[in-house]
Amino acid sequence: MTAFGLVPSSPPLSSARNWPAFGIVAGLYLFLLFCGKVLLVSDELYFTSFAGQMSDGQIRHFIELNQQWDWVAYVLLPVLLLGKVSVIAALLATGYYVFTEQWRYRPFLRAAIFAELIFLLPGILKIVWFSQLHPHYELRDLSAFCPLSLASLVDLYQVEAWLRYPLQLLNGFELLYWVVLALLVSQLVAWPWTRAVRLVALTYGPALLVWVLFIMFLTVSFA
């Protein structure tokens, strides 16, 4: 049994293969993307959201372009997901090497893959919220939806554009991701949980901060 501060005796995930696991996680992301498009996005939604900003002909043209290039999102999603988990695994492996002078990459890739399941939860909540609980919405409501975040406490479109991404990122699911990632690292490399938390904080934490600053810089530059 794993407990905070205790070393797990037999990591239950150590026998899982990375690429089949990644395929399953990526498949779940693609399925959630498909469900979101089918259940939440319609032609009527575009006309409602852009009424007064574009003519009906322009809106129809915009819808046709979206349908024409819809497949790009399904191609890019697994590619971006693979890039994300690979970079996080490399950061964790580098930190582990600094601590132990041993290079191990596969356990950290496995941890990063399984931890990504956490970020399916906001997408599921979005579909349930807008399809069942709040059926009257516009496109801006979908893009601004970020439950358990600081962004949910304010009108996101009333704050400076460069502040929106940090406000959305500071949420309960991100915190849960840190906890789960540390738990998985603890199991897979047989470390105490507190030490795994330190590894995550010293590797993933700074990288996340740099990413946020980069997005803020781009937002200011192209605003």
| pLDDT tens digits, 58-112 | 999 999 999 899 999 999 999 999 999 999 999 999 999 999 999 999 999 999 9
Domain annotation covers residue 10: no
| Closest by Cα among 38, 12, 4, 32 to 120 | 32
The whole domain housing 29 covers 18-222
Domain annotation covers residue 68: yes
> Across residues 181-198, what is the average pLDDT?
95
Domain annotation covers residue 11: no
Interval 154-172: pLDDT, tens: 888 888 989 999 999 999 9
What secondary structure does DSSP assign to 80-97, as a single string?
Answer: HHHHHHHHHHHHHHHHHH
Domain annotation covers residue 3: no
As a whole number of angstroms, the distance between CA 84 and CA 194 comes to 24
pLDDT of residue 14: 55
Domain annotation covers residue 161: yes
Domain annotation covers residue 8: no
Domain annotation covers residue 213: yes
CB neighbour list of residue 28: distance below 8 Å, 6 or more residues apart: 117, 120
Task: Find the distance separating the first CA and the last CA of the chain, reported in whole Å.
Answer: 51
**Host H or E run for residue 6:** none
Q: How many CB atoms lie within 10 A of CB 111?
A: 27
3-state SS class at 54: strand
Most confident of 5-9, 129-133, 157-161, 178-182: 178-182
Q: How many CB atoms lie within 10 A of CB 65?
A: 10
Domain annotation covers residue 198: yes
| Closest by Cα among 132, 133, 161 to 143 | 161
Total domain count, the chain: 1
